[in-house]
Amino acid sequence: MYWTLELASKLEDAPWPATKEELIDYAIRSGAPLEVIENLNEIEDDGEICESIEDIWPDYPSKEDFFFNEDEY
């Protein structure tokens, strides 16, 4: 399983919190790339609900990681 910013961004509008099956269903309905669906299938299904993308990919960068100052524009 591997994640990139592009792949993870396909789940930004997912209906959080969600189960693994709900995320897979969302990815299929939204036309996400096959790699997103394969990555979601590889997640261990322990029945827990994912609160956000960080539960799936702990290294997902936040807005603070980009050092973009919105006040300048």
| Count of CA atoms in the C-beta half-sphere (13 A) of 59 | 4
pLDDT digits (tens, 9 = 90+) for 15-54: 999 999 999 999 999 999 999 999 999 998 888 899 999 9
**66 pLDDT exceeds 60?**
no
Give residue for tokens 């029945």. 47
Q: 54 in a domain, yes or no?
A: no
Q: 72 in a domain, yes or no?
A: no
Domain tally, the chain: 1
Q: 21 in a domain, yes or no?
A: yes
Q: 66 in a domain, yes or no?
A: no
**55 pLDDT exceeds 60?**
yes
pLDDT value, residue 5:
87
What 40-43 contacts at long range (C-beta under 8 Å, 24+ apart), as own/partner pairs, is 42/1, 43/1
User: What's the one-letter identity of residue 29?
Assistant: R
pLDDT value, residue 67:
59
Q: 33 in a domain, yes or no?
A: yes
Q: 50 in a domain, yes or no?
A: no
Token code pair at residue 57: 């990919």
* 8 A C-beta contact, residue 16 and residue 50: yes
Domain range for 31 is 17-41
